[in-house]
């Protein structure tokens, strides 16, 4: 990472390093439409610490399997549904490395991605969240909880 004269990294340096790390960890996925993309594995702990997991989902995910709180309530409010939809869209956007999703001329608009492809990316990301909990640290409550969510 490049630094200023005082050896402090710039925000641009961090962004560049972050993009490089995402690209280095990316996998090639072929989607139902036939499109091929590069996608990276989401990091469950990063999402939790950033507050990007809906609170209702996080509460269910962090509950122990034997507790009554482990089963999500049967009724979801309109706000819950919208929050879960935003989470799913954010997870898809965060997973796709190339082609970039956005509004610039060289990016693909999120709404232009076929729903089957978006669903496939979301399901792949959820499977990846499950797998990251079982391979790296099976005792991690955050990984185990997200595994329960993704399995639903």
Each residue of 1-39: pLDDT tens digit? 555 567 889 999 998 998 898 899 999 999 999 999 999
Cα separation, 31 vs 39, whole angstroms: 11
- The pLDDT-based confidence of 126 (bands split at 50, 70, 90) is confident
User: How many domains does the chain contain in total?
Assistant: 1
- Answer with the residue of higher pLDDT: 84 or 149: 84
Helices 115-135, 78-95: inter-axial angle, 10-degree rounding: 80
Residue 13 falls within a domain, yes or no? no
Residue 74 lies in a domain: yes
In a domain, 10, yes or no: no
**Residue 69 near residue 56 (C-beta atoms within 8 A):** no
Residue 22: inside a domain, yes or no? no
| Residue 7 is assigned to a structural domain of this protein | no
Domain extent for 136: 28-151
For residue 2, being part of any structural domain is answered with no
Between CA 47 and CA 144 the distance in angstroms is 14
Q: Which of 49-53, 60-64, 67-71, 142-146 has the highest mean pLDDT?
A: 49-53
- Overall pTM surpassing 0.85 (yes/no): no
Give the pLDDT band of residue 147 (cuts 50, 70, 90).
very low
H runs (alpha helix) in 37-114 = 44-49, 55-62, 78-95
- Please tell me whether the peptide bond between 95 and the residue prior to it is cis, using omega within 30 degrees of 0: no
Residue 12 in any domain: the answer is no
Arithmetic mean of pLDDT, 67-88:
74
Q: What is the pLDDT of residue 73?
A: 56
Which has more pLDDT, 12 or 135? 12
């Amino acid at each position: 990472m490049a630094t200023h004269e005082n050896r402090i990294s710039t925000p641009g340096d961090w962004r560049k390093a972050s993009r490089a790390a995402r690209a280095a960890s990316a996998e090639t996925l072929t989607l139902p439409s036939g499109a091929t993309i590069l996608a990276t594995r989401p990091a469950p702990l990063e999402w939790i610490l950033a507050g990007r997991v809906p609170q209702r989902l996080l509460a269910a995910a962090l509950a122990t399997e034997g507790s009554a709180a482990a089963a999500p309530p049967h009724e979801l409010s309109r706000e819950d549904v919208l929050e879960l939809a935003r989470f799913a869209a954010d997870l898809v956007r965060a997973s796709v490395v190339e082609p970039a999703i956005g509004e610039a001329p060289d990016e693909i608009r999120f709404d232009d991605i076929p729903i089957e492809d978006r669903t496939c990316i979301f399901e792949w990301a959820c499977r990846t969240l499950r797998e990251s909990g079982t391979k790296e640290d099976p005792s991690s409550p955050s990984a185990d909880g997200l595994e329960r969510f993704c399995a639903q």
